[in-house]
Chain A
């Protein structure tokens, strides 16, 4: 697809451009650090990295307001950071500390933050979609103007819950933006090997849902498309299905030997690294100076180092609290 020059695109000013770049860099460096800490066994369990997909999370999250609700998946570090959850509480969660965003109960796959309406990472593929539909139903019934952002991957579109949720959201005209981050692989199974119709945005049509697809490596394109989708939904037109076409540079998880795709394919996609593309475009548009990137890198690096220090220093949840959050106090 041909891309218009930056001046023809979003009315993007230097401040916003540098913010987007910084947000993507924060995710990239956070994830690299997480991988390192995993190999040091500071982080255990499953770890699914977002590297390569930064533009989808950062670009789309700009379109959602404070009062909007976010539902994400087990690959949700990027969404959590872009939503504004501090890196230190996310890192602490992966360390299993009481200072983590879920008190060490959730780990990498289950970040939650009530104050930011971040309703969690869901680790059964497709399982978050019905939750998002229900959140949107609650907002509609309570006459709130909020919309719900529902993130999922291409693997989820094979689940019954995808189809049920699209149908129900359309039937009840609910304010949900379905954001499919299509990274071309359902764990190790390529899209063409698990979908009879590989154009995911086309699946919305059969439910009467407005849909579109966008280059998920282009942060500005993602932001523009998501803003349009959110505006459409907020006006009461019902849900929207937005397909964000992206690629993950790392394996599915830390235990994945990545045998199902070629190195050449990965290298080809890395030429479209969202960070490189955006920096090149900003330089071309004279919005980025030679000193900007090193300065932002240094600031991000300091933030991540502080997050690790803070996570290390954080206390463990006392074992005495093991059963405390299973159920709340009974009704009086």
Chain B
């Protein structure tokens, strides 16, 4: 086991993939000379050279499309989009090509492409650099949507994604890069479609993913002081969604709160609520609560941004309300 940051874990996974498979290459904006906007790929250009660690122009649509084409052509591309905000410029390629080609071609072609990007708010970057659109992406059949929230997941989900036959999108919450954890780099491949129970509890199920996991675990500790034992589920993957793990927990706690940094309206949290209505209606002792971002373009000022994002106190309040 080695102690390292989330950033170092992603880098270690990239290095391992580049070393072990000559078909793997990394491309994106500033992944090479700059070392990655979040310093994830720092040092990889020096080790693997510009053919395999390729800096691209600011052409999101085309370098994502080129990743799709290279995957069709037999390569194993990893495309880094600097942030989820810029991925909007590549939506056509993602939605209309990456996600459709296998089905539209009658199963003749597949797109073994991994796309990584930073997501989320909380760094005072205002309304154009703070989105959480992973819930949007989870709407699309034909792709997988992963949201690693721990150091082992940052490493293992990327490596496992590279064995998938179809496009995998990995959303790395930007506030997680400095997170420290223990990693066993020799660990076997991991399941990337199962949720993880990060804390056991009997009173309420807190369902979350990605950047909100830390806040949710903190809320669970606060709740324990008030004699409310919360179970915390880290979804890990939004598509496919591991509904059985959620249902199993709710069957035990009979209460649920969903914590999701996306805006409330049309959020991924709404999908969880709908599934609980469809599949666990008789298990619920109270309405499912949601803790989401406020319906506002993200403001810059710290106190306003804090007020717009889900916070520990909001999660605690929602949990207390649902069990009361």
A138 lies within 8 A of B102 (CB): no
Q: How far is the CB of A124 from chain B (nearest CB, A)?
A: 5
The docked-state distance in angstroms from the alpha carbon of A141 to that of B53 is 12
Question: Chain B residues with Cβ under 8 A from A188's Cβ?
Answer: none
A314 located at the interface, meaning its Cβ lies under 8 Å from any Cβ of chain B in the complex: no
* Chain B residue at minimal CB-CB distance from A172: B54
- CB under 8 Å from chain B, chain A span 97-149: 100-106, 110, 112-114, 119-120, 122, 124, 127, 129-139, 141-142
A120 lies within 8 A of B165 (CB): no
Question: Chain B residues with Cβ under 8 A from A326's Cβ?
Answer: 102-103, 141-142
* Chain A residue at minimal CB-CB distance from B67: A134
Q: How far is the CB of B176 from chain A (nearest CB, A)?
A: 25
Q: How far is the CB of A1 from chain B (nearest CB, A)?
A: 34
B93 lies within 8 A of A127 (CB): yes
The stretch from A11-19, A22-30, A162-170 touching chain B is A162-170
Counting contact residues on chain A (CB < 8 A from B), the size range is 35 or more
Question: Chain A residues with Cβ under 8 A from B193's Cβ?
Answer: 330
- CB under 8 Å from chain B, chain A span 188-231: none
Question: Chain A residues with Cβ under 8 A from B108's Cβ?
Answer: 102, 112-114
B102 lies within 8 A of A327 (CB): yes
The docked-state distance in angstroms from the alpha carbon of A105 to that of B316 is 48
B61 lies within 8 A of A138 (CB): no
Known contacts A131-B65, A165-B62; is-contact A142 B75 (Cβ 8 Å): yes
A110 lies within 8 A of B104 (CB): yes
* Chain A residue at minimal CB-CB distance from B160: A331
Q: How far is the CB of A281 from chain B (nearest CB, A)?
A: 38
B83 located at the interface, meaning its Cβ lies under 8 Å from any Cβ of chain A in the complex: no
B59 lies within 8 A of A325 (CB): no
* Chain A residue at minimal CB-CB distance from B73: A138
One of A120, A133, A164, A167 near B101 (C-beta < 8 A): A120
The docked-state distance in angstroms from the alpha carbon of A63 to that of B296 is 56
B56 located at the interface, meaning its Cβ lies under 8 Å from any Cβ of chain A in the complex: yes
* Chain A residue at minimal CB-CB distance from B65: A130
* Chain A residue at minimal CB-CB distance from B79: A134
The docked-state distance in angstroms from the alpha carbon of A69 to that of B57 is 24
B182 located at the interface, meaning its Cβ lies under 8 Å from any Cβ of chain A in the complex: no
B17 located at the interface, meaning its Cβ lies under 8 Å from any Cβ of chain A in the complex: no
Known contacts A124-B92, A161-B62; is-contact A325 B103 (Cβ 8 Å): yes
Of A130, A161, A171, A325, chain B has the most CB atoms within 10 Å of the CB of: A130
Question: Chain A residues with Cβ under 8 A from B102's Cβ?
Answer: 325-328
B109 lies within 8 A of A119 (CB): yes
- CB under 8 Å from chain A, chain B span 181-202: 189, 193
* Chain B residue at minimal CB-CB distance from A317: B106
- CB under 8 Å from chain B, chain A span 51-65: none
* Chain A interface, DSSP helix/strand/loop, else mixed: mixed
The docked-state distance in angstroms from the alpha carbon of A132 to that of B254 is 52
B244 located at the interface, meaning its Cβ lies under 8 Å from any Cβ of chain A in the complex: no
A160 located at the interface, meaning its Cβ lies under 8 Å from any Cβ of chain B in the complex: yes
A133 lies within 8 A of B66 (CB): yes
- CB under 8 Å from chain A, chain B span 149-198: 160, 163-166, 189, 193
* Chain A residue at minimal CB-CB distance from B105: A112
A329 located at the interface, meaning its Cβ lies under 8 Å from any Cβ of chain B in the complex: yes
B70 located at the interface, meaning its Cβ lies under 8 Å from any Cβ of chain A in the complex: yes
| Binary flags per residue of A47-81, CB closer than 8 Å to B gives 1, else 0 | 00000000000000000000001000000000000
Q: How far is the CB of A151 from chain B (nearest CB, A)?
A: 14
- CB under 8 Å from chain A, chain B span 47-100: 51, 56-57, 59, 61-75, 77, 92-93, 96-97
One of A114, A167, A327 near B59 (C-beta < 8 A): A167
A325 lies within 8 A of B107 (CB): yes
The docked-state distance in angstroms from the alpha carbon of A201 to that of B113 is 33
Question: Chain A residues with Cβ under 8 A from B106's Cβ?
Answer: 100-106, 112, 325
B110 lies within 8 A of A112 (CB): no
A164 lies within 8 A of B59 (CB): yes
Q: How far is the CB of B275 from chain A (nearest CB, A)?
A: 18
B65 lies within 8 A of A129 (CB): yes
B70 lies within 8 A of A137 (CB): yes
* Chain B residue at minimal CB-CB distance from A324: B107
Known contacts A164-B57, A168-B57, A171-B57; is-contact A327 B142 (Cβ 8 Å): yes
B133 located at the interface, meaning its Cβ lies under 8 Å from any Cβ of chain A in the complex: no
Question: Chain B residues with Cβ under 8 A from A134's Cβ?
Answer: 65-73, 77
B268 located at the interface, meaning its Cβ lies under 8 Å from any Cβ of chain A in the complex: no
A130 lies within 8 A of B61 (CB): yes
One of B70, B165, B189 near A329 (C-beta < 8 A): B165
B65 lies within 8 A of A127 (CB): yes
Question: Chain B residues with Cβ under 8 A from A167's Cβ?
Answer: 57, 59, 62
B25 located at the interface, meaning its Cβ lies under 8 Å from any Cβ of chain A in the complex: yes
Known contacts A100-B106, A131-B65; is-contact A168 B56 (Cβ 8 Å): yes
Question: Chain B residues with Cβ under 8 A from A168's Cβ?
Answer: 56-57, 59, 62-63, 66
**Residues of A with Cβ closer than 8 Å to B?**
69, 100-106, 110, 112-114, 119-120, 122, 124, 127, 129-139, 141-142, 160-161, 164-165, 167-168, 171, 324-332
Identify 5 new A-B residue pairs, CB closer than 8 A, beyond the known A161-B65, A331-B163.
A119-B109, A136-B69, A137-B66, A139-B73, A328-B110
Give me 19 A-to-B residue pairs in the complex whose CB atoms sit less than 8 angstroms apart, sorted by A's number. A100-B106, A104-B106, A105-B104, A105-B106, A106-B104, A113-B108, A114-B105, A122-B97, A127-B93, A132-B69, A134-B73, A135-B73, A138-B70, A138-B74, A142-B75, A161-B62, A168-B56, A329-B165, A331-B160
The 6 closest A-B pairs by CB, nearest first: A134-B69, A130-B65, A138-B73, A103-B106, A331-B163, A164-B62
